[in-house]
Structure 1
Amino acid sequence: MSARTASLLGPQRRNLWFWVFVGPFAIGLTLFTYVPLLWSVYLSFFDAHNTVNPTEFIGLDNYTAMLQDGAFLSSLGTFLLFTAFIVPATFGLSLSLALMVNRLRFAQAFFRSVFFLPTACSYVVASLIWKLSLFNGVRFGLANTVLDWFGLDQTAWLSTTSPPWYWLVIVTVRLWLQAGFYMILFLAGLQRISPQLYEAAAVDGARPGWQVFRHITFPQLRATSVAVVLLLVINAFQAFDEFYNLLSDARGYPPYARPPLVYLYYTALGRDQNLGLGSAGAVILALLIALATVVQARWFGLGRKED
């Protein structure tokens, strides 16, 4: 073996084994993530109707058209409304579950697993369960059955726009799917808090409950809370499965509750198949996600050294 080959392989062939294990994942990430992303950016500068190999360069026209499109701007408004619902609801529920599980003296692993288990469920499957079994618009759905017990009128949950009951269905299915994951993050943060802080607070006369939570527990969860909020906002930007599978039917997708990814899906793969315009919208959405992440990180001081 030459000296050059030996230096590339490293001592005891460690470099070789590193690439044996990491190489397939790096190749897959490049082929199925980075290449499509770069190609999408490329398409956004072309008139790409029904083709992924366009020839007519149009510059920023796709971006201009997308930013002037009222339907796209309306989809961003839908995202903001969805975020206003799902972020505080998930944050509050996951933190509450973490506090309750953390206080258990027995069967903690069981309840941690039970609350985390929905995270493994497919968004498509969960959406269909919510749509066909729980919030079915006929009298056989669970929600309408409960309403019937109290003598209340049945509701077409997914097609009633005044009031917009479809938001209840969309938010609850996302809440059920993701609350357990963020509960685990909060549990990890709670277990990092030193018991000595609570002992010192008891000596100083702090009352258990809200006072201890407000002045000790929650401030100690600051880094975890910031990370959870960032992840929740990013995931809200990427909402697609529950919206599409809950609200679409054989007639298509209704004009209401259409988030950005659903709108871009119909733009790029709908009747016109305008891949250039859809790619421009995807790039705009990616930039908005990056901007929102940076603004939140600066606002909350993510990465700042704590006093």
Structure 2
Amino acid sequence: MSEVIARTSTGKKQKAASLKPGLWAQIVRYRMSYLFLAPFMLLFIMFTVVPVFTAIGLSFTYYNILESPRWVGLLNYKTLFVNDDIFLKAVGNTLKFAVITGPVGYCMSFVLAWLIHQIPHKYRFFYTLCFYTPAITSGTAVAVVWAYLFSGDRYGMINSWAIRLGILDEPWLWLKDVKTILPVLILVSLWMSMGVGFLAFLAGLANVSREMYEAATIDGVKYRWQELWYVTLPAMKPQLLFGAVLTIVSSLQVFDISVALAGNPSTLYAGHVIMTHLNDYAFVRFEMGYAAAIAVVLFLLMVGLNRFIFNILGDKE
């Protein structure tokens, strides 16, 4: 009797295993879906996955483009964190930059998107265009305007106003003085921070159902800030997460504004960030192995911060 029961249970398990579709069976079954995903996956693998692993491999070599890569192990990373004082200063400047421009730019984007959402629909396009235009303008064009504002002579607009008002006795070298280079770069970056995250917030606000606000009113919500806290923010978690990730990436990848306004290198490396250090070794000195090590450190920094944001705003499910 026990043998019959054992055979029956074994047969049921084999039958269940045969009915359970394998990976290839699922691909065949949903072949049209995989076919539509194929172009994106191919481009993603070719231009994202392969370069990342290539950079990781090159970071353990000495490679100057002219010669074949030569294995040096952890020497590049040891040099970065032990002997390269300029890199450590660039990391400090980048983190200062990210800590200020990231949260402040993120909050500014959401608050402005929320305020624009309160005005009549027919006027929203005009205000959206006004706030979004700096983000789509090239860094070089923006630098021309801000370089005129912060010019170090009497013809600079900020110096001219400050001297007329009696705040300054002589022109201040805003983009050459160590104390003011980084604050100016932070100010310009905040002005340009209304990017894709800003549009994502606008789209998220537009997609919040009116029925949720009506239900909240019945439950006792009376004020706009209560609607924002109890209804809008919970309903916009995907857009908030998307905007946070973009803000982190953009704040850590600052480069154009730093080079255009402060130069490369800046005075005593006061405006030096990780991307300018990477550009220096990759395209000026052509030390690609060392540059790859810098890129890997920046990549790990981005991944770590994004993981932190996912733990805060992401859904555990």
TM surpasses 0.5: yes
Alpha-carbon distance change, 58 to 167 in structure 1, aligned in 2, over 3 angstroms: closer
Contact 1:134 1:142 in 2 (8 A): yes
Which residue number in structure 2 is paired with residue 5 of structure 1?
none
Matched, 1:165 2:180: yes
- Residues 73-93 of structure 1: CA distance to partner in whole angstroms, max 9, x if unpaired? 221111110011101221121
Alpha-carbon distance change, 180 to 269 in structure 1, aligned in 2, over 3 angstroms: closer
CA RMSD of aligned residues (A): 3.0
The amino acid across from 1:113 in the alignment is: L
Distance across 2 between alignment mates of 1:216 and 1:192: 12
Contact 1:130 1:173 in 2 (8 A): yes
Contact 1:189 1:224 in 2 (8 A): yes
Q: Which runs of 5+ in 1 are unaligned?
A: 1-13
The amino acid across from 1:202 in the alignment is: T
Q: Which of 180, 185, 209 lines up with 2:200 in the alignment?
A: 185
Which residue number in structure 2 is paired with residue 81 of structure 1?
96
Which residue number in structure 1 is paired with residue 138 of structure 2?
122
1:46 is displaced (CA, Å) by 2.1
Distance across 2 between alignment mates of 1:55 and 1:218: 50
Contact 1:182 1:228 in 2 (8 A): yes
Which residue number in structure 2 is paired with residue 94 of structure 1?
109
Distance across 1 between alignment mates of 2:289 and 2:80: 10
SS of residue matched to 1:165: helix
Which residue number in structure 2 is paired with residue 247 of structure 1?
262
Which residue number in structure 1 is paired with residue 74 of structure 2?
60
Matched, 1:288 2:301: yes
1:55 is displaced (CA, Å) by 4.7
Which residue number in structure 2 is paired with residue 221 of structure 1?
236
Distance across 2 between alignment mates of 1:121 and 1:180: 10
Between stretches 278-287 and 54-63, larger displacement belongs to: 54-63
- Residues 261-296 of structure 1: CA distance to partner in whole angstroms, max 9, x if unpaired? 1112223344x5422212212122212222222232
Contact 2:196 2:243 in 1 (8 A): no
Output the TM-score relative to the length of structure 1. 0.79
- Residues 220-270 of structure 1: CA distance to partner in whole angstroms, max 9, x if unpaired? 333322221221111112111111111116xx4322121111112223344
Contact 2:240 2:313 in 1 (8 A): no
1:104 is displaced (CA, Å) by 1.2
SS of residue matched to 2:192: helix
Distance across 1 between alignment mates of 2:192 and 2:151: 19
Alpha-carbon distance change, 52 to 175 in structure 1, aligned in 2, over 3 angstroms: farther
Count residues with an aligned counterpart.
281
1:34 is displaced (CA, Å) by 6.0
1:186 is displaced (CA, Å) by 0.8
- Residues 142-189 of structure 1: CA distance to partner in whole angstroms, max 9, x if unpaired? 22233234221143211223xx32233212222222314322111111
Alpha-carbon distance change, 197 to 26 in structure 1, aligned in 2, over 3 angstroms: closer
SS of residue matched to 1:235: helix
The amino acid across from 2:128 in the alignment is: R
Contact 2:255 2:275 in 1 (8 A): yes
Alpha-carbon distance change, 204 to 165 in structure 1, aligned in 2, over 3 angstroms: same
Which residue number in structure 1 is paired with residue 158 of structure 2?
143
Matched, 1:155 2:172: yes
Distance across 2 between alignment mates of 1:228 and 1:203: 31
Higher radius of gyration, 1 or 2: 2
Alpha-carbon distance change, 172 to 301 in structure 1, aligned in 2, over 3 angstroms: closer
Distance across 2 between alignment mates of 1:43 and 1:53: 13
Q: Which of 125, 137, 144 lines up with 1:109 in the alignment?
A: 125
Contact 2:198 2:243 in 1 (8 A): no
Alpha-carbon distance change, 218 to 244 in structure 1, aligned in 2, over 3 angstroms: same
Contact 2:185 2:257 in 1 (8 A): yes
Alpha-carbon distance change, 230 to 28 in structure 1, aligned in 2, over 3 angstroms: closer
Alpha-carbon distance change, 288 to 278 in structure 1, aligned in 2, over 3 angstroms: same
Distance across 1 between alignment mates of 2:277 and 2:220: 56
Distance across 2 between alignment mates of 1:159 and 1:61: 34
Q: Which has the higher helix share?
A: 2
Distance across 2 between alignment mates of 1:182 and 1:301: 15
- Residues 26-66 of structure 1: CA distance to partner in whole angstroms, max 9, x if unpaired? 67983x66665554334322222x43532532122112222
Distance across 2 between alignment mates of 1:75 and 1:275: 18
SS of residue matched to 2:298: helix
The amino acid across from 1:186 in the alignment is: F
Matched, 1:256 2:273: no
- Residues 82-124 of structure 1: CA distance to partner in whole angstroms, max 9, x if unpaired? 0111012211211121112111113122222222222221122
